[in-house]
Chains A and B, each alone.
Chain A
Amino acid sequence: MSFEAALPETLAEKAETHLLRQYRQNVQQEDLCFALWRPSTGASRTTGIVTELILPSHGDRNLHGNASFESHYLARAARRACQTNSGVAFMHSHPSPGWQAMSNVDIVAERDRIAPPARAARLPLLGMTIGTDGVWSARFWSWNGREYACSLCDKVRVVGRGIQLYISPHYTPFVRSARLRRTVDTWGSDCQAVLAALRIGVVGLGSVGAIIAETLGRIGTTNLLLIDADRVKEHNLDRLLYAAATDIGRFKVDMVANRLRSSASATTFRVDPKRAWIQEGDAYEAALDCDVLFSAVDRPLPKDLLNNIAYVHCIPVVSGGIRVATKPNGRLADATWSVVSAGPGARCLRCDGQYTSSEVVMERDGSLDDPTYVGRSSIPAQNNENVFPFASNLGSLMVLEMLRAILREQWWPPKPTRLHYSYLMNRLTTQIATCQPSCSVTARTGIGDHWTYPFLDAPVDRGERPRSRIRRLWSKFRKWFQK
């Protein structure tokens, strides 16, 4: 099990303003505060999501170059944590930049003074340090039956207008290679290191998802998760990257993963194909291990689940969709595609009109697939018309959206909530919008494991082994011999 911490950007900015206030006035003075966190548990990663700051009042802490707190301040934080089913987080600043190591004083303070009373909340203590350059580092202190043991976090992510990722020096570093020379020259090694440290999930490996996976492999990402339970069919061959007639019947994730292993540019590259739908328990848990998710699905239920993951677990989701309109004579009327980034600080997919909760329950019990019903309802029928260039353009736009979030600098214009391309008008438009005030999805931001999606299914064993090259050659040979 690995450990990480996550903060919504607005909360991180507020904490940073408090903790670095003195340094920004050129006063060498550390500061501290308590906060609350909620767990988000994936298949192999636990993330502590900071949900609330408990800033000190007068008399709560003492500043003397270093900083110390009064016991009543800790008691207040522990009490609030118990009331809200949260854990206690302790944040403090250091006078140096970058990922911070722990001094002996820090260790004694967190392990011996804060972790024991914080245990009243039945969750480990989350310790966080911020350097003078705003870089966060984090660790958990949990009781193992004998002592409070420290588990260092690999990464801390701040999610909002952009994605800021702070990486532990112990975490696999980015290795510069000749293959990625032009890529690194384009945006620099710092950005490349972030890309290399991200675990990225692609949900839906159809025409758009396969393009996204290929693009991610080419730009030097090192850790991909692919989720789809669908198999390659003959009608996919005109749009599905890599697919050939010999792939018909194979799981799409296996086919894409096999090709990615040879085309990926990173020196070390790991891809995990998951033959499952995202709403199946094991795929859902695997998705919670990711730092960014791509939604290349067109059904309401998986969109709804991913939308909730974006806020509840603070994992940004880049979602895309294509709509093709044809005339009665079968000719193309128009094609539009759009990209929406969901996550803390952004408009959610439901408020964006990508699906409704009614469609989700209808999909759940099968009535969404009834053509007689859909044709007569207010819900538009799903159409699957699409061509490779539409899909490749959308896939590329979706990856660009993720890159924009990572490369983003303060002076950049505000990130649009939606990109919309009209093929007929040959025009790409952007839109900035917020959720409805009543949005229940954004209201759940950061609550992690405390919310359970109501439509999760049990895992399904689709344990068919992917065909090896020798088996495929043998199969070809047998077909040829039978002819």
Chain B
Amino acid sequence: MLERIADELRSNGFAPRVVEFANSPSPCHAIIFDIEVPVGRHKDKMLTLALSFQDGAYPEYPPHFVYFKSSVDSGKFTTHFILQFEGVTWFAYSLPPNDFWDTLEASQKNMNTYVKRHLYRILAEL
């Protein structure tokens, strides 16, 4: 499953790596990658993000925790928890694509849709 997610991100021009967030409240696998903010206050800035996944759940169940390497939030979102990983502080926000994921065709439930329809709108609000 994680390889599939990583492949989907690679095919969209990202360089993901799979890690294990062992010390998060519920230990899980995560995928870390850099993303350039396309619009908003942080336009053109490069951010490092992580997405965590429940085993065996993707793509039917989307990722909902988005981790930022530093607290860049303008106050619109609530930090769910803070995590130390590789000597860096990660801020976890629970931001599921609740409004559209279940309406997608099975073939559209992929990281391309997740990034373009969901992640970019979150980045625009930061």
- Interface positions of A (Cβ within 8 A of B): 350-351, 356-362, 364-367, 370, 372-373, 376-379, 436-438, 440, 443, 452, 454-455
B125 at the A interface (CB under 8 A)? no
Q: B57, B64, B106: which has the most chain A beta carbons within 10 Å?
A: B64
Measured in the bound complex, the distance between the Cα atoms of B34 and A403 in whole Å is: 56
- Interface of A, helix, strand, loop or mixed by DSSP: loop
- Interface contact A357-B54, CB-CB below 8 Å: no
Task: Knowing that A365-B65, A378-B98, A379-B96 touch, tell me 6 more A-B residue pairs with CB under 8 angstroms.
Answer: A361-B61, A367-B94, A379-B98, A454-B56, A454-B61, A455-B54
- Whether B64 contacts A362 by the Cβ 8 Å rule is yes
Contact between A366 and B26, CB atoms less than 8 A apart = yes
Complex CA–CA separation, A359 to B99 (angstroms): 11
Which of chain A's residues have a CB closer than 8 A to the CB of B105?
437-438
Known: A350-B102, A378-B98, A436-B103. A357 touches B62 (CB 8 A): yes
Cα-based distance from A366 to B60 in the complex (angstroms): 19
Chain B positions within 8 Å of A, measured between CB atoms, are 25-26, 28, 54-57, 60-65, 77-78, 80, 94, 96-99, 101-106, 108
B17 to chain A, nearest CB (A): 22
Kindly report which residue of chain B lies nearest to residue A308, judged by CB atoms.
B60
Chain B residues within 8 Å of A357, by CB = 60-62, 101-102
- CB of B102 to closest CB in A, whole Å: 5
Smallest distance from the beta carbon of B118 to chain A beta carbons, Å?
10
- A438 & B94 in contact (Cβ 8 Å cutoff): no
Residues B102 and A356 in contact, CB atoms below 8 Å apart: yes
Contact A373 B55 (CB under 8 A): no
Chain B minimum-CB-distance residue to A453: B56
Neighbouring B residues of A437 by C-beta, 8 Å: 105
Q: Are A358 and B62 in contact (CB under 8 A)?
A: yes
Give the most central of A360, A365, A366, A370: most B CB within 10 Å: A365
The distance from the CB of B107 to the nearest CB of chain A, in whole angstroms, is 9
Nearest chain A residue, comparing its CB with the CB of B99? A378
- A233 CB to closest chain B CB (Å) equals 26
Closest-by-CB residue of A relative to B103 is A436
Contact B97 A366 (CB under 8 A): no
A-B contacts at CB below 8 angstroms, number: 79
List of B residues within 8 angstroms of A361 by Cβ: 54, 57, 61-64, 96
**Which residues of the partner chain B approach A358 to less than 8 Å between Cβ atoms?**
61-62, 64, 96-98, 101-102
User: Residue on A with the closest CB to B106?
Assistant: A440
Determine the chain B residues whose CB is within 8 A of the CB of A377 once the complex forms.
94, 98
Complex contact B102–A367 (CB within 8 A): no
Other-chain contact of B57, A367, A376, A454 (Cβ < 8 Å): A454
**Which of A370, A378, A454 has the most chain B CB atoms closer than 10 A to its own CB?**
A454
Give A362's nearest chain B residue, CB to CB.
B64
Chain A residue contacts of B26, Cβ below 8 A: 364-366
List A contacts of B102 (CB < 8 A): 350-351, 356-358, 436
B25 touches A356 (CB 8 A): no
> What 6 A-B pairs have minimum CB-CB distances, sorted nearest first?
A358-B96, A454-B56, A358-B98, A367-B94, A438-B105, A365-B26
Considering the complex, give the chain A residue whose CB is closest to the CB of B24: A365
Closest to A358 in B: B96
Chain A residues lying within 8 Å of B98, measured Cβ to Cβ, are 356, 358-359, 377-379
Compute how far the CA of A365 lies from the CA of B78 in the bound complex, rounded to whole angstroms: 16
Q: Cβ of A440 and Cβ of B78 under 8 Å apart? A: no
Judging by beta carbons under 8 Å apart, are B60 and A367 in contact? Answer: no
A438 touches B103 (CB 8 A): yes
With the chains together, A228 CA to B14 CA distance in Å? Answer: 45
Smallest beta-carbon distance B125→chain A, Å = 13
Give the residue name and chain of the B residue nearest to A368 (CB).
B94
How long is the Cα–Cα vector from A141 to B55 in the complex, in angstroms?
Answer: 37
With A357-B62, A361-B57, A436-B103 known as contacts, the answer to whether A366 contacts B25 (CB < 8 A) is: yes
A370, B57: Cα distance in complex, Å: 22
**Once the chains are docked, how many angstroms separate the CA of A367 from the CA of B64?**
10
- Min C-beta distance of A234 to chain B, whole Å: 30
Q: Which residues of B contact A378 (CB under 8 A)?
A: 98-99
When chains A and B are docked, how far (Å) is the Cα of A226 from the Cα of B11? Answer: 49
B106 to chain A, nearest CB (A): 6
CB-defined A-B contacts under 8 Å, sample of 24? A356-B96, A356-B102, A357-B101, A358-B61, A358-B98, A359-B98, A360-B61, A361-B62, A361-B63, A361-B96, A365-B28, A365-B54, A365-B65, A366-B25, A366-B26, A367-B65, A367-B80, A373-B94, A376-B77, A378-B99, A438-B103, A438-B105, A454-B54, A454-B60
